[in-house]
Structure 1
Amino acid sequence: MESFKIKIQPTNQPSIIKFEANKFLTRKQNYEFKNVDEAKNSPLAKQLFYLPFTKTVYISGNFVAIERYDIVEWPDVQNEVAQQIENYLNSGEPVIIEDENTPSKVPVTVYAESTPNPAALKFVSNKKLVLSTYEFKNIDEAKNSPLATCLFHFPFVKEVFMDENYISILKYDMAEWDDIVAELREYIRSYIEEGKEIVSENAEAASPSEQNKATNNKSVATENLDDTSKEIINILEEYVKPAVASDGGNILFQSYDEDSKTVSVILQGACSGCPSSTFTLKNGIENMLKSMLDGKVNEVVAING
């Protein structure tokens, strides 16, 4: 089982800092504790109040946020606090002790959003669903995702793609969206509301944050890449991925050939097989890389994930 790792994330309020975990801490609700008495059902929050500078503790999704008193500055103590939270989580002790007042269901809204790919629809939730990107081409690949496995039992579901707070579904031509969208939306909403597991810890992320995945499923560590490849990855992450994600898809760097100056990328989710993806690739991504990496890129080619 993967151990907990904590990443420190500043916020727009200098007194508050977030400690993000690589796994969910709670799915049912958000918690705010203003003192040690209020934290009686959270052993973790209770422990954090033993720190003299802790003013408020927030626990939500995959992070703990702490508001501090002015007696310290975060740079002086944040590493020690991160280590304390990480040690606690890896001890196996509970984050929240549920009681009869803990709701059994999570209020959830899900809406369907069109994508440039007519075969794909994006189902967006008001809750964070996953912490990494996942792509499932068939029910065998979905064995470590209970939700994706259930979705594949619908005969018209061809592929399932998950990222943050949305699920993209690619359908077979046997059904029209107008006939199936309401059924899928309600099924996904009810599934999330009941707090069921979406992906297991054994599920393999399609795009780990520290590594870039090639089509043969062998990971390529960024530190082993040449400088141009690293520049390309940074541009894709900063400028391309947010736009692609808004369309229900994902883009991954695969390789860069220095001799031909060709960049190969992998398209996933709604972008995979999308009729407009070639236009976007040539007139958007390729032109951007040519402009930002003068003389280093001649062509961008895509492989559907």
Structure 2
Amino acid sequence: MFIETETTPNPATLKFLPGELVMASGTRAFTSPEEAEASPLAQALFSLGDVTEILFGRDFVSVTIAPGAQWSDAKPQVLAILLDHFVSQAPLFAAGSAQNIVVPAEDEDFADDPADAEIVEQIKDLIETRVRPAVANDGGDIVYRGFRDGVVYLKMQGACSGCPSSTATLKNGIESLIRHYVPEVNEVRAA
């Protein structure tokens, strides 16, 4: 088995492509060892010590390392863990754990106004069909969090989280796209 590795716009994150399906649908991000208890693979990656975030996508695993850590040291270890996992065909998730988390837990601060249902549906459709596939190419994901008073709130994950160009991507790319198709949107902010 050969696992391809790609750089991402975030120098702290590499995208690993095992050449097979990782998740049938959705994405799953882990930002702590406690969250990683849902997945033996995520637990193994966090056990390396320098890993700060993991994102499972359709056909990739993005791994982010801590500031000061070097990919020259971490990459062989990450590859060994991924290779062991995919060759053994071990389950991605522990039995009974939540698997696909595409939308974060409901946050009262981001509750949508039912009067905005049509606008919200347009925004979600654009994110799902245009934005998420583009950022997945860079080893990341963007999740809709809410719409209020003309502002769309999005959460960036994987390579997009903490990426030096994430603000530019959010403002120049995503905000421009959404404002073009949904004139009720005035701004896009990271949540």
Same fold (TM > 0.5)? yes
Please say if residues 121 and 168 of structure 1, whose CA atoms lie closer than 8 Å, have aligned partners that are also in contact. yes
DSSP 3-state at the match of 1:185: helix
Whole-Å Cα distance in 2 between the matches of residues 290 and 194 of structure 1? 46
DSSP 3-state at the match of 1:285: helix
Whole-Å Cα distance in 2 between the matches of residues 137 and 261 of structure 1? 29
Aligned residues: 188
1:116 maps to 2:23: no
1:237 maps to 2:128: yes
Aligned to 1:24: none
Going by fraction, where is strand more abundant, 1 or 2?
A: 1
Aligned to 1:285: 174
Shift of 1:202: 1.4
**Structure 1 length as normaliser, TM-score?**
0.57
Query: Cα deviations across residues 274-297 of structure 1 (Å, max 9, x unaligned)?
Result: 110100111111111111123x11
> Structure 2 counterpart of 1:162, which letter?
F
Query: Cα deviations across residues 172-211 of structure 1 (Å, max 9, x unaligned)?
Result: 123211222122113211221011121134134221xxxx
Larger radius of gyration: 1
Gaps of 5+ in 1: 1-107
> Structure 1 counterpart of 2:53, which letter?
E
Whole-Å Cα distance in 2 between the matches of residues 145 and 272 of structure 1? 20
Aligned to 2:69: 175
Whole-Å Cα distance in 2 between the matches of residues 112 and 224 of structure 1? 45
Question: Taking structure 1 as reference, are residues 174 and 215 closer, same or farther at Cα in structure 2, changes over 3 Å only?
Answer: farther
Aligned to 2:81: 187
Whole-Å Cα distance in 2 between the matches of residues 225 and 150 of structure 1? 43
Going by fraction, where is helix more abundant, 1 or 2?
A: 2
RMSD after superposition: 2.4
DSSP 3-state at the match of 2:132: helix
Identity fraction in percent:
33
Whole-Å Cα distance in 1 between the matches of residues 74 and 60 of structure 2? 18
Please say if residues 4 and 19 of structure 2, whose CA atoms lie closer than 8 Å, have aligned partners that are also in contact. no
Question: Taking structure 1 as reference, are residues 173 and 118 closer, same or farther at Cα in structure 2, changes over 3 Å only?
Answer: same
- The answer to which structure, 1 or 2, has the higher relative contact order (CA under 8 A, 6+ apart) is 2
**Structure 2 length as normaliser, TM-score?**
0.89
Instruction: Choose from 88, 91, 97 the match for 1:197.
Output: 91
Please say if residues 137 and 160 of structure 1, whose CA atoms lie closer than 8 Å, have aligned partners that are also in contact. yes
Gaps of 5+ in 2: none
Whole-Å Cα distance in 2 between the matches of residues 215 and 111 of structure 1? 36
> Structure 1 counterpart of 2:122, which letter?
E
Query: Cα deviations across residues 76-113 of structure 1 (Å, max 9, x unaligned)?
Result: xxxxxxxxxxxxxxxxxxxxxxxxxxxxxxxx321111
Listed as ranges, the matches of 1:86-105 within 5 Å are none
Aligned to 1:206: 101
> Structure 1 counterpart of 2:168, which letter?
F
> Structure 2 counterpart of 1:302, which letter?
A
Whole-Å Cα distance in 2 between the matches of residues 273 and 174 of structure 1? 14
DSSP 3-state at the match of 1:226: helix
Aligned to 2:164: 275
Shift of 1:130: 1.8
